Structure 1
Amino acid sequence: MKKVALNAAGLLVALFAAFPVYWMISTSLKPSREIFSATPQPVPAHPTLEHYREILTGNLIPGVSFVDFFVNSAIVAVSTVVLSGLVALLAATAVARFRFKLRTSFLIMLLVVQMIPLEALVIPLFLMIQRLGLYNTLPSLILTYLGFSLPFAVWMLRGFVAAVPKELEEAAAIDGASRAQTFRRVLFPLVAPGLVATSIFSFITAWNELIFALTFINDQGSYTLPVAMTFFFGRDDTNWGPVMAASTLFTLPVIIFFLLVQRRMVSGLVAGAVKG
Structure 2
Amino acid sequence: MSTSMRITQRRTPKISSLMWGALALFVAALWAFPVYWMLNSALLPNVTLQSSTPTFIPFGGSLDNFVAVTASGTFFSALGVSLTVTSITVVCCLSFAFLGALAISRFRFRGRKGFILALLLVQMLPAEGLFIAQYRMMANANLLNSVLGISILYIAAVVPFTIWMLRGFVTGIPVELEEAAMVDGLTRTQAFLRITFPLLAPGLVASGVYAFLQAWNEFTIALVVMTSDTSKTVPLWLRGFMQSSATRETDWGQVMAASTLVSVPVIIFFLLVQGRMSSGLVGGAVKG
Amino acid at match of 2:121: V
Residue 61 of structure 2 is matched in structure 1 by 47
| Structure-2 residue corresponding to 1:85 | 94
Alignment partner of 2:40 out of 2, 23, 26: 26
What is the percentage of aligned positions where both structures have the same residue?
44
Instruction: Report the equivalent of 2:276.
Output: 264
- Relative distance call for 1:175 and 1:133 in structure 2 (3 A) is farther
1:110 CA drift (Å)? 1.4
Matched, 1:225 2:234: yes
| CA distance in structure 2 between the partners assigned to 1:149 and 1:175 by the alignment | 39
Taking the aligned partners of 1:249 and 1:79, their CA distance within structure 2 comes to 21
2:250 match: 238
What is the rounded CA distance, in whole Å, between the counterparts of 2:262 and 2:65 in structure 1?
14
User: Compared with structure 1, are the counterparts of its residues 7 and 150 closer, same or farther at alpha carbon in structure 2 (3 Å cutoff)?
Assistant: same
Q: Cα RMSD between the aligned structures? A: 2.2
Matched residue type, 2:108: R
The Cα offsets for residues 175-226 of structure 1, whole Å up to 9 and x where unpaired, read as: 5544443333222211010000010010000001111111101221111010
Residues 169, 182 of structure 1: 8 Å contact kept: yes
Out of 163, 173, 176, the residue aligned to residue 154 of structure 1 is 163
SS of residue paired to 1:80:
helix
Separation in 1, partners of 2:142, 2:213: 26
Corresponding residue of 1:17:
31
Q: Residues 271 and 15 from structure 1, CA distance in 2 versus in 1: closer, same or farther, beyond 3 angstroms?
A: same
Q: Tell me, which stretches of 5 or more residues in structure 2 are unaligned?
A: 1-14
Residue matched to 2:70: 56
Residue deviations 1:217-240, cap 9 Å, x none? 122111101001111122731111
Q: TM-score, normalised by structure 1?
A: 0.89
Matched residues in 1 for 2:17 and 2:207: separation? 33
Q: Match of 1:57, as an amino acid?
A: A
- Residues 104/271 of structure 1: CA separation in 2 closer, same or farther (3 Å cut): farther
Which of 259, 264, 273 is the equivalent residue of 1:247?
259
| Counterpart secondary structure, 1:232 | coil
CA contact (8 A) 2:119 2:164 kept: yes
Distance, in Å, in 2 between the alignment partners of 1:231 and 1:166 is 52
What secondary structure is seen at the aligned counterpart in 1 of 2:51? coil
CA distance in 2, matches of 1:182, 1:172: 6
Post-superposition shift, 1:268?
8.3
**1:210: which partner in 2?**
219
Consecutive unaligned residues of structure 1, counting only runs of 5 or more, are 60-64
Please state if 1:38 is matched with 2:52: yes
Structure with max Cα Rg = 2
1:204 alignment partner AA: L
Cα separation, 1, equivalents of 2:190 and 2:96? 18
